[in-house]
Chain A
Amino acid sequence: MKKRTIIIGLAGVFIIGSLIAIIALRGDKPTTSVSKLEVTLTPADLAKESQIVLTGRFISSNVREVFEKDTGEKMIYTDWQVEPQEVWKGTASKKLIVSILGGENGNLVVIADTQGGQNLKPGDERLLYLYYRDDLQAYTPLSTMQAIFTALPGNIFRDEAGTEYAKTKLTNEIEKVQ
């Protein structure tokens, strides 16, 4: 009886060990990292070039694969449903979809080097400068790094580098907090 228990125990340890070894040897999923060197966008550029400017809350997300014709790359975008809080420019539906590069779908992982859109989670509030991209058939930020700002109390907005901005009185622009 005791011998049998020991044999079963050893077999269990062997099976679990083998599974761990297989997972370890297989490594991470195939990943494509995307790095973009972007045009420098000033607050005035952001206001001028965007079609919609709004503060909004990220509600939920879905991932989808997009075949980018120009580069022939299969990319993953995360479609976020955003609930507008305050629209500064353009018009936005109550359930606006904003596509942001990066995500995981099955065995394909796409990571955007730019951090702006990568760490979003439901409930986050952001100031977004958006334009409509035909090939995505969705609104997307002008830049994942320069056009997504964390909304802080008191109408203060912080970019990914930690610089804080305040809304100007007359336009849909923001300006650096001195």
Chain B
Amino acid sequence: MTGGKGYKMRKKFLALVAFFVAAMAGISAPNAQAYYNSGHHWDYGNPTRVSVYMHSSILPAWVPAISHAMSSWNQAGAKYRFIAGSQGHEVRLQYLSDPHALAITYVREGWNNNRITDRDTYINSRFSWDVNGDPNKYDVENVMAHEFGHWLMLNDLYSGGDYWKTMYGSGAPGETYKRTLHSDDISGIRAIYGI
């Protein structure tokens, strides 16, 4: 009987270890590096609707490219929609003091428990831009697909393994792969807004 009690104890101990290992695996396994969000989000309506206003500094030829970047996120299957509007949160072409920033996005939150109140993106006019993948210029849709990820509160990624994701935090001339959302970008946005 004593041996039986010891066996039961060992069994309990092993079960406890197994549970602990499984719990740790559960914590670390599901896309720990897949996406990175700030924990904040838009919270207006269901689905959330985000109005995007393209400032007059945006060249007419760029509008379809920016609209396509909005559509890419709209098609991710999460509960929000980017909508083009004559007012709202702005996308603007602007000369920026920072010589290494292709674009800067500002997110403002008020005294309202982490709810976003405003969002604007400035595309840096220091650089040469294009909408057709010119290898010597920066691609508007590529960059705006990344910036719209910030609008929805996904943060930058920098690990080498994250390179092929839209939310990878640096860009190069001629680069267009960020136009197409990576499955991890989609997982991230679905985790924030639900499906």
B100 to chain A, nearest CB (A): 5
The answer to whether A70 and B96 have CB atoms under 8 Å apart is yes
Interface size counted on chain A using CB atoms at 8 A: 36
- Say yes or no: B102 contacts A39, CB within 8 Å: yes
A34 to B97, CA, bound (A): 14
User: Which of A79-87, A89-97, A120-128, A159-167 lies at the interface?
Assistant: A159-167
**Chain A nearest Cβ from B169, distance in angstroms:** 6
Which chain B positions have C-beta within 8 A of A35?
A: 104-105, 107, 147, 150, 155-156
- Report A131-142 CB contacts with B as 1/0, cut-off 8 Å: 101110000001
CB distance from A22 to the nearest CB of B (A): 12
Verify B111–A146 contact, CB threshold 8 A: no
Q: How large is the interface on B (under 10, 10 to 19, 20 to 34, 35 or more residues)?
A: 35 or more
Q: Which residues of B contact A159 (CB under 8 A)?
A: 158
Q: Is B107 within 8 A of A145, CB to CB?
A: no
Asked if residues A160 and B158 are in contact (CB atoms below 8 Å), the reply is yes
Among A10-18, A24-32, A56-64, A149-157, the stretch in contact with B: A24-32
The residue in chain B whose Cβ has the minimal distance to the Cβ of A109 is B109
Bound-complex Cα distance A86 to B26 (A):
44
The reply to whether B102 and A38 contact each other, CB–CB distance below 8 Å, is yes
Identify the interface centre among A27, A28, A38, A161: most chain B CB within 10 Å of its CB: A38
B90 to chain A, nearest CB (A): 11
Give the shortest distance, in Å, between A38 (CB) and chain B (any CB).
5
Q: Write the residues of chain B forming the contact surface with A, with a CB cutoff of 8 angstroms.
A: 38, 40, 94-114, 120, 122, 127, 143, 146-147, 150, 155-156, 158-160, 169-172
